[in-house]
């Protein structure tokens, strides 16, 4: 069972998000603006399934402790939270469509890109984020995570694939350090720690061993660079001091 106190703190944060989603249209505006401006401007507020799973887990914990009355309240709150999320996302989608029309973007129904993983079960595209302009063509490129990618005989090493935002071509790949690392389970844009404007990503290896202990997990900051004489994106600088 997880720490109930930690769940209560997390639940309080989600409650604030819910209240804002219900009453503050400015948040909706900010989210839509971030969608068009790029992922680096989007404040992380947790995945929707995480918000719902939180109260579900709280209810399960209370049931295990025999507190059925409070568990019923948590289950009721789970359903209410789902409704809030559904309404908020519907408004967000409508606002995004309106903003797109203002900018002259229209839906054609035509598939512009179709990408697929390299092996069964690698969880290709579990995470997809803007990676910055890696090839210098003025267009944001894309990082795609496949955390259960196998490499040689090692299972669930993890892989991140970089693709051109302009052409869709593969620009390069990064791989986890070893088996059962789950490299690329989470990927987020990050600022260049040296302030030089280079593309940078926070990449988690969810089960990376630490100090000989398996399944601990590691978060690394990667500053990416474009190789001058190659058509690939190199690993660049890896900041492991934030593990």
142 shares a domain with 92? no
83 shares a domain with 136? no
Residue 113 lies in a domain: no
pLDDT at res. 92 = 79
3-state secondary structure 75-129: HHHHHHHHHHHHHHHHHHHHHHHHHHHHCCCCCCCCCCCCCCCCCCCCCCCCEEE
152 shares a domain with 91? no
- pLDDT more than 70, % of the chain: 81
137 shares a domain with 86? no
Q: Which residues in the chain belong to E strands, given as ranges?
A: 127-132, 141-146, 159-163, 170-175, 183-190, 200-205, 218-226, 233-239
Instruction: Count structural domains, the chain.
Output: 2
pLDDT at res. 150 = 96
Residue 107 lies in a domain: no
The stretches in the chain having pLDDT less than 70 are 1-2, 25-46, 106-109, 226-243
| Measured distance CA(31)–CA(127) in Å, rounded | 19
The rounded mean pLDDT for the chain is 82
Half-sphere exposure of 240 (CA within 13 A, CB side): 8
Residue 56 lies in a domain: yes
pLDDT at res. 174 = 94
133 shares a domain with 233? yes
pLDDT at res. 177 = 94
225 shares a domain with 177? yes
Per-residue pLDDT tens digits for 147-201: 999 999 999 999 999 999 999 999 999 999 999 999 999 999 888 888 888 889 9
pLDDT at res. 175 = 96
- Quote the pTM value: 0.55
172 shares a domain with 81? no
142 shares a domain with 95? no
Residue 110 lies in a domain: no
70 shares a domain with 139? no
78 shares a domain with 18? yes
Domain range for residue 186?
Answer: 127-239
């Amino acid at each position: 069972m997880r720490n109930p106190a930690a769940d209560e703190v997390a639940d309080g944060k989600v409650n604030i998000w819910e209240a804002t989603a219900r009453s503050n249209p400015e948040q909706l505006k900010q989210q839509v603006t971030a969608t068009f401006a790029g992922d680096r401007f989007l404040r992380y507020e947790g995945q929707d399934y995480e918000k719902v799973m939180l109260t579900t887990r709280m209810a399960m914990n209370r049931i295990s402790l025999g507190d059925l009355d409070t568990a019923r309240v948590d289950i009721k709150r789970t359903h209410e939270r789902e409704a809030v999320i559904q309404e908020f996302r519907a408004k967000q989608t409508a606002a995004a469509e309106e903003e797109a029309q203002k900018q002259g973007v229209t839906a054609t129904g035509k598939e512009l890109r179709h990408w697929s993983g390299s092996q069964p079960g690698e969880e290709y595209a579990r995470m997809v984020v803007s990676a910055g302009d890696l090839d210098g063509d003025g267009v944001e490129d894309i990082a795609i995570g496949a955390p259960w990618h196998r490499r040689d005989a090692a299972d669930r090493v993890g892989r991140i694939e970089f693709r051109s935002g302009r052409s869709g071509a593969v620009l390069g790949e990064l791989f986890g350090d070893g088996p059962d690392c789950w490299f690329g389970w989470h990927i987020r844009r990050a600022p260049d720690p040296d302030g030089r404007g280079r593309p940078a990503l926070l990449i988690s290896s969810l089960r990376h061993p630490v100090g000989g202990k398996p399944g601990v997990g590691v978060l690394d900051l990667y500053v990416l660079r474009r190789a001058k004489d190659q058509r690939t994106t190199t690993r660049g600088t890896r900041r492991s001091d934030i593990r």
